[in-house]
């Protein structure tokens, strides 16, 4: 399925696997790409915040884009957020040439007023070219930039090349409802909404109008199953599945240490070879590892995928 304003399902936020010596682990990248597709993901997003993008050299970023794009059968989105438009443009153009489906852009932390935010994305689109499809990332908790529904509407109206909102405001349920009601009223053009924020509210977001999830939880197969249950109208079943995973979802959704949990789970699932992060990194203490493993063992009673 192409990347479009009608995109649905789960776009996996891919981690970037490293070998013990810190070099990029391309073998694990291949395995991870396959794993996301086998899990039912309808897309893959690489080089995002959780992908340790700022820790990569420019040539490494391109090599990763090339590797994933050439292997994946689903659309690949490339995170191109950068301190300046020059770096954003070159990574975006290079990625599209290599076959990426689109790019994702987050606002830089210094933005404050509505006009500053709207103006920034006008500059970004001017830089990458209005022929490059892109995802607008709305993540105030980490980025400190707060976009009201009105600002998102202005950006979407200004730039038809923006096909999707990565929604991860917190609290954020009402924002989805507001945007969808603007669209229903015909005051806003259609676009896809996939939810991030670690999936913490994915038990209600589909009913609010989200088309699915874009997050990196270690069980993407559970995320696709969950979205499928909602699509099938099986509300109680969906909540049952979600609730079983929530203790781990909650544990993984911790700033900084969350990536360590995610890599630990993916390693235990046999998808990536090591849980190495590049510096600066936050690692798991042995106590934290034991806590995650305990949560996995509890989850395994409900969901066999967690029996590792």
Binding site for a copy of itself (CB under 8 A): 52-58, 60, 82-87, 90, 109, 112-116, 119-120, 123, 126-127, 140, 145-148, 150-151, 170-171, 173-174, 177, 200-201, 203-204, 208, 239, 242-243, 246-247, 250, 254-258, 278-280, 285, 287-288, 291, 298
Indicate the burial class of 287 (C-beta count within 10 angstroms; 0-12, 13-18, 19 or more): exposed
DSSP, collapsed to helix, strand or coil, labels residue 144 as coil
Q: Which is nearer to a copy of itself, 71 or 204 (CB)?
A: 204
**Locus of tokens 């599209």:** 96
Both tokens of 184, joined, read 């229903």
Q: Which is nearer to a copy of itself, 123 or 190 (CB)?
A: 123
d(CA 241, CA 239): 5
d(CA 74, CA 289): 33
DSSP, collapsed to helix, strand or coil, labels residue 81 as coil
Q: Which is nearer to a copy of itself, 189 or 250 (CB)?
A: 250
Q: How far is the CB of 200 from a copy of itself (least distance, A)?
A: 6
d(CA 93, CA 201): 34
Q: Which is nearer to a copy of itself, 189 or 298 (CB)?
A: 298
Q: How far is the CB of 141 from a copy of itself (least distance, A)?
A: 9
Residues 6+ apart with CB under 8 A from 65: 46, 47, 76, 78, 94, 95, 98, 100
Q: Could you tell me which residues are beta bridge partners of residue 46?
A: 78
Q: How far is the CB of 194 from a copy of itself (least distance, A)?
A: 20
Q: Which is nearer to a copy of itself, 192 or 277 (CB)?
A: 277
Q: How far is the CB of 177 from a copy of itself (least distance, A)?
A: 6
Q: How far is the CB of 87 from a copy of itself (least distance, A)?
A: 7
């Amino acid at each position: 399925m192409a990347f479009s304003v009608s995109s649905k399902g789960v776009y996996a936020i891919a981690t970037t696997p490293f070998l013990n010596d810190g070099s990029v682990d391309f073998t694990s990248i291949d395995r991870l790409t396959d794993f996301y597709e086998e899990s039912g993901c309808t897309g893959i997003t690489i080089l995002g915040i959780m992908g340790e993008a700022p820790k990569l050299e420019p040539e490494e970023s391109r090599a990763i884009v090339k590797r994933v794009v050439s292997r994946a059968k689903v659309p690949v989105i490339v995170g191109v957020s950068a301190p300046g438009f020059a770096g954003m443009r070159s990574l975006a153009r290079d990625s599209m040439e290599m076959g990426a489906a689109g790019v994702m852009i987050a606002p830089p932390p210094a933005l404050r007023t509505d006009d500053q935010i709207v103006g920034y994305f006008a500059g970004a689109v001017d830089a990458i070219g209005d022929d490059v499809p892109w995802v607008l990332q709305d993540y105030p908790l980490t980025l400190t930039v707060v976009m009201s529904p009105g600002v998102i509407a202005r950006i979407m109206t200004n730039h038809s090349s923006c096909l999707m909102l990565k929604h991860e405001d917190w609290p954020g349920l009402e924002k989805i409802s507001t945007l969808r009601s603007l669209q229903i009223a015909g005051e806003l053009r259609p676009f896809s909404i996939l939810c991030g924020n670690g999936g913490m509210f994915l038990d209600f977001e589909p009913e609010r109008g989200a088309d699915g999830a874009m997050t990196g939880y270690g069980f993407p197969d559970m995320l696709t199953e969950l979205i499928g249950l909602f699509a099938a109208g099986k509300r109680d079943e969906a909540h049952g599945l979600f609730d079983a995973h929530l203790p781990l979802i909650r544990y993984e959704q911790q700033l900084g240490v969350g990536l360590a949990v995610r890599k630990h789970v993916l390693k235990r699932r046999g998808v990536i070879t090591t849980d190495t992060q590049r510096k600066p990194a936050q690692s798991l203490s042995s106590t934290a590892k034991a806590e995650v493993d305990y949560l996995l063992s509890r989850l395994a009673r409900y969901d066999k995928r967690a029996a590792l």
